[in-house]
Amino acid sequence: MQQIAAAYPDPELRARYQTAAETFRIPYWDSAQLKQRQGRTSLNIPYLCTLPTVQVFTPTSAGDTIRPFETIDNPLYSYKFVSNQGITSFQDQDGNFFPFANAKGTSRYPPQFNSRDPTVTSQWDNGFNDNDAITEALRNLSSLGEDVYRSFTTSNYTWFSSTQQSNPPAPNSYQSLESIHNEIHGITGGGGHMSWNT
């Protein structure tokens, strides 16, 4: 971020962005917070994650009074990999193949991989997001707020924080933050990069 801030030609604007970059934080997504969208109140992914592109103020657009913003690929929608080094493909217990090593971008709820279908292969290679499937999966998860509440009712830190416990109480009496975190990964991933299997 400092590198981008330093690229602004206007010294006043550059200093302002360099100061802002020192305290920048990624926005927090309260996955248990009900949201109003499309006439329904339900759990949902943040709207910003559903936009393939976003308009941002950049060093090259800063002095442009006609078009002060530049349209870029939204990294919260799909992240484009610089390289696929270290990313591996694998098969799940049912023999389904997940070609993550071929991916140039992240996917959420991609179609079942089929090497004979060029459309599906392209979706896996370039990244594919089915935000409607994520929304539907979240809407079917009615107990998330209750799970967060239950995680705060235990006095045992290990039970509160982790899924790796010895002698835990009955599952209906507590919930760990890690298991809630894992649930959100699975629901938002749907077999893609955010899922349990990656």
Instruction: Count the alpha carbons within 13 Å of 174 in the hemisphere toward its beta carbon.
Output: 20
pLDDT single digits (tens) 6-20: 999 889 989 999 999
Question: What span, in angstroms and rounded, lies between the C-alpha atoms of 157 and 130?
Answer: 36
- 161 near 175, Cβ under 8 Å? no
Neighbours of 125 (CB within 10 A): 14
Q: Tell me the helices (H) and strands (E) count for the chain, helix number first.
A: 7, 6
Low-confidence ranges of the chain (pLDDT < 70): 62-63, 84-87, 91-93, 95, 142, 165-166, 168-174, 196-198
Give the pLDDT confidence score for residue 169 in this predicted structure: 64
Residue 105 tokens, joined: 């971008």
99 exposure class (CB count in 10 Å sphere: 0-12, 13-18, 19+): middle
Helices (H), the chain: 2-6, 11-22, 118-126, 131-139, 144-151, 157-161, 177-189
Report how far apart, in Å, the C-alpha atoms of 121 and of each of 105, 111, 114, 188 are: 13, 9, 7, 21
pLDDT of residue 193: 84
